[in-house]
Structure formats: C-alpha cells, structure tokens
Homo-oligomer: A and B are copies of this chain.
Amino acid sequence: MGPKKVDGVGVGLIGLGTVGTATVRILIEQADLLNRRLGAPLTLCRVADVDTTRERGLDLPPGLLSADVDGLLGDPDIDVVIELIGGLEPARTYVLQALQNGKHVVTANKALLAEHGAEIFAAAEEHGGDVAFEASVGGGIPLLRSFREGLAGDEVASFFGILNGTCNYILSRMTKEGADYEEVLAEAQSLGLAEADPTLDVYGLDTAHKLAILVGLAFGARVDLADIHVQGIEAVTPLDIKFAAEFGYRLKLLAIARRQGDAVQARVHPTLIPDHHLLADVSGAMNAVYVTGRYVGQLMFYGPGAGGGPTGTAVVADVIELARNRLAGAAGRVPPLAMPWSRLRATPIIPMDRVTTKHYFRFAAIDRPGVLSAVSGILGRHDISIEAVNQKGRQVRGAVPIVMLTHEAPEKNVDQALRMIDELEFIAAPTARLRVEDLDAERPD
C-alpha cells in the first residue's frame, strides 16, 4: 500500500508504460503547483502494473507500485482511477469496474472509447461517475476540452485533423526528401517514431478511432466506427507527392468530418490540401485540427500528438478536472460527450460512394495519339470535369504520367470512371488517385 489520502482527492493509476511513467512524474514533481491549483491535496495512493520491477527512473514511495489491480479498484481512498494500459481488454473490464465502484475515470484509450464508448458512457451515467479522456486524441493538445466546452456556444460545421504523428512524420519526410514509404517507415521504426507493428498507425485505424471520438463531441452524434471510411498511407508514392506539389498541394493523412443535413461525413484518407494553408505547415510528428464553426469561423489547435510528457499533461489536466468536480460535489457536471448520452443523436455517416470531393489522378499512359481524348471522354461521361491537366514528359516504367486535378465529383462516378479507364489497353498501370480538400473554401453552411 502506498500513501494514504488524508484529505482532498485520492488517485490510483493502472499501467506504468511511457504515458503512465510521465504522468506519475508530473504528479510527483508538480505536486505543490497542482495542490495550489486545486486548493486541496492530490494524493497518488496506488500504482498498478504487471511489471513491478523494471527501472523507470521514478523515485516512488515504497509500497506504491504493485500488481494488485483489484486492490486499487476497491481502495476507498481512491476517487479517481487512471487507466493507461491501452487496448480493449482488460482495460474495458477495469474501467467498468472502477465506475461500478463509484470511482471517476481518466483514460487515454482511444481504441476502447471508439469501440466500447456506448457501454462506458452509459455506465458512467448510471453510476454518477465522470469519464475524462483528453489524452486519447491529440496528445497534449487541449482538444476535447475545446470541443466540449470552448465550442459549447457554437455549432461545428466541419473539421480536418492531423491526428497521427507517425503518419505525419512519414509523409513529411517523403515530401521533403522524395523518399519511398518503406524506407522512411523503416527509419521511423529505428528511431522509435513508429511501432514495430505499425499497422494501427499507417493503415489509418488509430486516426479513425480518434475521429469517432471527435465526431461524437463535435456534432453530438453517436456514430458507428465501422461506418467510417478508412484508408492509410501505405500506398502513397513520392511521385504523387511531387506531382501534387506542382499543382500547389501537400499530402496529409486527414481525419475529416463535415455536418451535412442530419448526417455527417466521417472519413480518413490521404488528402491533398493547399500548400499555403496553415495545416499544410504542420510537419513531423505534430498534430493539429482545423475547425470551422457556424459563428466562430476558423480555428486551429496545434501541438504534440504523442509522447509521454505531452500525453501525461493531458492525463493530469483530466485528473484536476475530475478532482475539482469531486471537491465541488459536481460529478457529471459536463457529460463526457458534451451533452447527456441520452440526448446524443444516432447519426448516420454518409456512405463514401455518396461523398463529393475534388480529385487528383495520375494515369500511367502509353504514349500514343488519342490517349488524353479517351481518358477525358470517360471522365466527361461521368460528369467529372477537369480543373487542370499536366502531361509529364518523363517516362515512368515505359508509360508517361498524365496528372490531373478535377472539380468536385461524387466518389461513385470517380470509382466507375477509373474502372473503365484502367481497362483501356494503353493504360499501363492502375490509376493513382488522391482526394483534394481546398480548406480555405471551407465555410459554415
């Protein structure tokens, strides 16, 4: 057993990995400042982890760390439980148990919330507990708080987020150096900027988890993760990054959400955005979200999306918030998703084939007369009009690249047209395709 809570608020933390270690460090090093802010002592009573022996560079009071999660969840001294083990199980069980035991919960677990948010938020409402999860999206950026409270006086029309530092790092390097995806990924792995198994990041699923959470907050919408269109960066080539740059665009993996009547768009894919836009300058492992509100206009939030220190500050900010609620007897004062769970609307996500965007295409054409006419004829018959076209002199594997920007066209038409074009005998390889968003034109309806 660790320190006893004498007064104020007691905290227990499960999962002493990178974020957990940074969180404990902040709670210890900044104890005086945090107590001044709270006006009452915050006591870290217990820390639980399966590995109790690894050296983490922390000077923990004796008895604080153990493997005893049940003891932590049942400790009457503990008011706030911090869950930082990640993954679905046993995190889900621990969070539900904490709420059943009358605790408040802070978590950084986006997968858990994206997959089991409904169950967890309902349990919180049932047991009168608070659930806070600032650290689950955008690392150290106070993003969820801004959506939930800062924008409480407005109606969000759309947002565009760079939410995965690993992908943004890889794309930034590919853009700057013209390097190949595999090469940069391998380097990112050796630098610890990408996981040994990078699937969750590079295939876009981590971004989709975060998008699901933000959509709930921004639109008061209950959405189903399975309905979010997800495409990662694994097929991106430096060639398309370069050609798009010549049109004045830069490539980012974006989480995109837009209110459209009673439904929402919610999609994750590599996206070309104007290179003069503030969001285009968000490089390396940094994250940012660009938001358009009906009354406020445009906002951007920028900061480190990962890392122990940054994410730890978000965890501790949540602890302070829940501690303030507890001291004021005001648990449940602000519902986790900005409005009571019962008032959230089950909101359909518009199927991807009905979404309309601008496109970038790169056709691999064998150089002969009539190619451009055939390609543009097919596009025209699918109501896809061309904004700019550029036939490149350089041969790439025996074919000449023709790159093209289109005006807005429905996905369905684009899918059909590309299928037809790729069957033409003088098209040597599948057409490369990227969606384009002109963010400056983004205006509330």
Write the residues of chain A forming the contact surface with B, with a CB cutoff of 8 angstroms.
22, 26, 30, 33-34, 36-37, 39, 134, 140-142, 145-146, 149-155, 220, 278, 281-282, 293, 295-304, 307, 309-310, 312-321, 324-325, 327-330, 332-335, 338-340, 343
Contact = CB atoms under 8 A, between A and B. Distances in A.
Nearest to A150: B142
A257 B72 CA distance: 42
A152 B316 contact: yes
Nearest to A147: B142
B140 A316 contact: no
Contacts of A312: 153, 295
Contacts of A338: 37
Most B-side CB within 10 Å, residue of A278, A313, A325, A329: A313
Q: How many copies altogether?
A: 2
A315 B278 contact: no
Given A296-B309, A339-B39, A340-B39, A317 B26 contact: no
B153 A22 contact: no
Contacts of A301: 299-302
Contact of A150 (B36, B134, B282, B319): B134
B293 A313 contact: yes
Nearest to A276: B281
Contact of A299 (B140, B152, B278): B140
16 contacts: A30-B155, A39-B339, A39-B343, A140-B295, A153-B313, A278-B281, A281-B281, A295-B312, A297-B303, A297-B309, A298-B303, A299-B303, A325-B330, A328-B333, A329-B330, A333-B333
B300 A302 contact: yes
Contacts of A317: 149-154
Contacts of A334: 324
Nearest to A444: B309
Contacts of A152: 34, 37, 316-317, 320-321
A310 B295 contact: yes
A43 to B, nearest CB: 16
A26 B295 contact: yes
Given A149-B145, A281-B281, A330-B330, A298 B304 contact: yes
Contacts of A146: 142, 145-146, 150
B153 A316 contact: yes
Given A153-B316, A155-B33, A309 B295 contact: yes
Contact of A141 (B299, B310, B318, B339): B299
A216 B316 CA distance: 21
Most B-side CB within 10 Å, residue of A154, A295, A312, A343: A295
A319 B101 CA distance: 33
A192 B120 CA distance: 50
Given A152-B320, A153-B320, A296-B304, 8 more contacts: A36-B220, A37-B152, A140-B293, A140-B296, A140-B297, A142-B299, A145-B145, A278-B281
